[in-house]
Chain A
Amino acid sequence: MSNEGRTPDLTRDRGLQTVRESTYKYALAGCAVLSVLTTVGIIGVLFVDAAEFFASPAVTFGEFFTSTRFSPNLEPVSFGIFPLLLGTLLVTFGAALVALPIGLLTAIYLSEYASQRTRSVLKPMLEVLAGVPTVVYGYFALVYITPALNVVIGGVNGALGTQFPTLGLFNGLSASIVVGIMIIPMVSSISEDAMSSVPDSLRQAGYGLGATKFNVSLRIVVPAAISGIASSFILAISRAIGETMAVVLAAGSRPPDIPPTQSAFGLLPYVAPGDLLALYSDSAATMTVAMINIAVSDLSGGSLAYQSLFAIGLTLFVITLAMNVISDAIANRYREEYE
């Protein structure tokens, strides 16, 4: 037969290659499995300890979510996560208010307006901002932002006769600002990537129709990049929710007091905006900060305080997981928008 001579060659090569290929495959799969197992392990531990916490007769599920007091160490102990949720909400909301607009406008500037040279200077600077250890941000807030804000508040009160409260040493406002500054690079760099990948032909179409640069940026580029922009927002917010070191230094370790609720028409309970705003002037510990406090306080494994750590951690995990799911959903929803 004519091809008899070649067949063994082919077989040998293929055999060798198969062995090599499968080695690679299993090695790579091993790495993937390792990281999946680690994640599953962490989640498992969270669930097990949180379950033990809720199983304890001293605390109930309902109390955990509705009690307005969180004091794991001082008698009588109470494990209401609500004040911590409120702290997280205050700081995250404030940070988002700072970071989302500034980050988006920065991204628009970098992607649409800045010259090549400006961009090559500004982008690395923003990346440096992202690389500063968060504890430095916290210290900065404590030592510089809070005193500066107090000077401003004093000035405004003096000039306008307003009654804004002076900020405490630890306060939610400076924490919001500093966490906001911290997550600006995240918003701006992801949004900028999304905007830069909008095809130039769309901009040209806009200019060809007599649009101004501002109109092209806002009406064509931003909508076309909206899924990336939304993802950047959500990732940045997740980051703010999870931030710890900066917050513990800036906002202190005492959770905010739950403000009194008013009721509208005797039905709908609500909190007066002024009361909510006032919370920013005082210490506003978040979920992460509370966890740090428990972890560093002298506690024995198996104690209720120790287990509450995992209950809070699980809550945090659920929140950030939800944020990621939303972010994915948004990205998918708009994925085929331009292609």
Chain B
Amino acid sequence: MTTEDMATETEADDDTDSLVTSDPGKGGLSENDDRGTVMAADTIVESRDLDVFYGETQALQNIDLAIPENQVTAMIGPSGCGKSTFLRCINRMNDLIDICRVDGELTFNGKNVYDEDVDPVALRRRIGMVFQHPNPFPKSIYDNVAYGLRTQDKTENMDAVIEESLKKAALWDEVKDQLDKSALNLSGGQQQRLCIARAIAVDPEVILMDEPASALDPIATSKIEDLIEELAEEYTVVIVTHNMQQAARISDKTAVFLTGGELVEFDDTDKIFENPESQRVEDYITGKFG
């Protein structure tokens, strides 16, 4: 089966302005959607009263959060407080978990992604994801980056796009002579940068990162951090991290979740780290609790 055949599987227009597979007349999604007026002009992802359940247990409660465009938003909080769960809500990766149920609203460019007519595949083409553990495909370095492009039928100028993505991910110089070698021969840090290159190659609007540096050594971590700051010039980055210093260093906004799945405080990163409103947040940040 050829790439072309595959692409017909879903609507694959790269300039698609809609997440909707059927009935394009209703609920179209565009930058200047009417509903945009009720939110800050630069909010790209916003949750309202979001509850998430795994079976009977509730993992997130009443989350209201507005993520600004082209900035780095960090999510911190103790283990199990629902950070990853929230991240997976944004691109509907939770759909892959049978027992997971989402209530409430989560909008992307003003469109509720949990509306009936939203195609999660189309959504994920605009919201990329980088995982905690590097997960390159057992293919060549080139094919790893090419996979998303082929899947989304963006094969025009593929070589150039791949080179540019690898450059943006600060990996090009290290791999340019071995693009046809297996990605599994790269070091962990290189693999993670490859995964970032793979995610940005398809030119999403938002990149979700779930503890992208937790499996890496300090040098690789600092490379990834530099990279994230650069990415924020073009993309909206939402990053989950356990590393407070990392959140303080690289993010513009910080959301603090605490045990039980509640969002306790969400504000400018400086404010959160220097002068948080909530005593619980202060305790958590200073290490008294968590």
Chain A nearest CB, measured from B224 CB (Å): 17
Q: Contact string, B1-22, partner A, CB cutoff 8 A, digits 1/0?
A: 1000010011000000000000
11 A–B contacts, CB within 8 A, in A order: A201-B135, A204-B93, A204-B129, A204-B131, A205-B135, A209-B124, A210-B121, A215-B151, A219-B6, A223-B137, A224-B138
B280: Cβ under 8 A from any A Cβ:
no
Contact B128 A209 (CB under 8 A): yes
Question: Quick check: A219 and B151 within 8 Å, CB to CB?
Answer: yes
The reply to whether B147 and A219 contact each other, CB–CB distance below 8 Å, is: yes
CA distance A230 to B195 in the complex (A): 28
For B150, the chain A residues whose CB sits under 8 A away are: 219
* Contact residues, A196-220 vs B (CB, 8 A): 199, 201-212, 214-215, 218-220
Q: Is the CB of B152 within 8 A of A210?
A: yes
A206 near B147 with CB under 8 A, answer: yes
Is B135 a contact partner of A199 (Cβ separation < 8 A)? Answer: yes
Does A339 have its Cβ within 8 Å of any Cβ on chain B? yes
Nearest B residue to A198 by beta-carbon distance?
A: B138
Q: Give the residue name and chain of the A residue nearest to B126 (CB).
A: A210
Cα–Cα distance between A199 and B122 once the two chains are bound (Å): 24
Nearest chain B residue, comparing its CB with the CB of A225: B138
Contacts of A199 in B (CB 8 A): 135
Q: Is the CB of B138 within 8 A of A223?
A: yes
State the CA gap A221–B168 with chains docked (Å).
28
Which of B1, B96, B122, B137 has the most A CB atoms < 10 Å from its CB?
A: B137
Q: Do B96 and A210 touch across chains, with their CB atoms under 8 A apart?
A: no
- Note all chain B residues with C-beta closer than 8 A to A338: 138, 184
Beta-carbon contact of A201 and B184 below 8 Å: no
Query: Are B96 and A204 within 8 A (Cβ)?
Result: yes
Q: Are A337 and B138 in contact (CB under 8 A)?
A: yes
A212 and B121 contact, CB distance less than 8 A? yes
User: Is A336 in the interface zone, CB < 8 Å from B?
Assistant: yes
Tell yes or no: B249 within 8 A of A by CB.
Answer: no
Main secondary structure of the interface of B (DSSP, over half): mixed
A window 287-339: CB within 8 A of B: 336-339
In the complex, chain B residues whose CB is within 8 Å of the CB of A219: 6, 147, 150-151
Distance A209 CA – B125 CA, assembled complex (angstroms) = 6
Across-interface contacts of A204 in B (CB, < 8 A): 93, 96, 129, 131, 135
The chain B residue sitting closest to A209, CB to CB, is: B148
B271 within 8 A of A: no
Assess the B133–A201 pair: CB atoms within 8 A.
yes
New A-B pairs, 14, CB < 8 Å, besides A201-B131, A209-B198, A212-B6:
A205-B195, A208-B129, A209-B147, A209-B148, A210-B123, A210-B148, A212-B9, A212-B10, A215-B6, A220-B137, A336-B184, A337-B138, A337-B182, A339-B184
Q: Report B176-219 residues with CB < 8 Å from chain A CB.
A: 182, 184, 195, 198-199, 202
Query: CB of B254 within 8 A of chain A?
Result: no
Alpha-carbon distance A210/B133, docked complex (angstroms):
19
Asked if B137 and A205 make an inter-chain contact with CB atoms under 8 angstroms apart, the answer reads yes
Complex: chain B residue closest to A203, CB-CB: B96
Given contacts A207-B93, A208-B128, is CB(A202)–CB(B137) below 8 Å?
yes
Is B71 an interface position by the 8 A CB rule? Answer: no
In the complex, which residues 164-208 of chain A have their Cβ closer than 8 Å to any Cβ of chain B? 199, 201-208
Contact with A along B130-149 (1 / 0, CB 8 A): 01010111110000000110
Task: Select the residue from B1, B126, B138 with max chain A CB neighbours within 10 A.
Answer: B138
Which chain B residues lie closer than 8 Å to A202 at the CB level?
Answer: 135, 137-138
Query: Which residues of chain B come closer than 8 Å to A210, judged between CB atoms?
Result: 121-126, 148, 151-152, 202
Kindly name the residue among B96, B131, B148, B151 whose own CB sees the greatest number of chain A CB atoms within 10 A. B151
B91 is an interface residue with CB less than 8 A from chain A = yes
Indicate whether A215 sits within 8 Å of B91 (C-beta atoms), given known contacts A201-B133, A206-B147, A209-B199: no
Decide: B138 and A207 in contact? CB cutoff 8 A: no
- B128 / chain A contacts, CB cutoff of 8 Å: 208-209
For the complex, give the distance between the alpha carbons of A202 and B135 in Å: 6
A201 to B133, CA, bound (A): 8
In the complex, chain A residues whose CB is within 8 Å of the CB of B138: 202, 223-224, 337-338
The answer for the CA separation of A224 and B135 in the assembled complex, in Å, is: 13
Min Cβ gap A66→B in Å is 42
Structural contact, A211 and B121, CB atoms closer than 8 A: yes
A229 CB, min distance to chain B CBs, angstroms: 14
* Per-residue contact bits, chain B 92-109, to A (CB 8 Å; 1 contact, 0 not): 010010000000000000
What 8 A-B pairs have minimum CB-CB distances, sorted nearest first? Answer: A210-B125, A208-B129, A209-B148, A201-B135, A210-B124, A338-B138, A337-B138, A212-B9
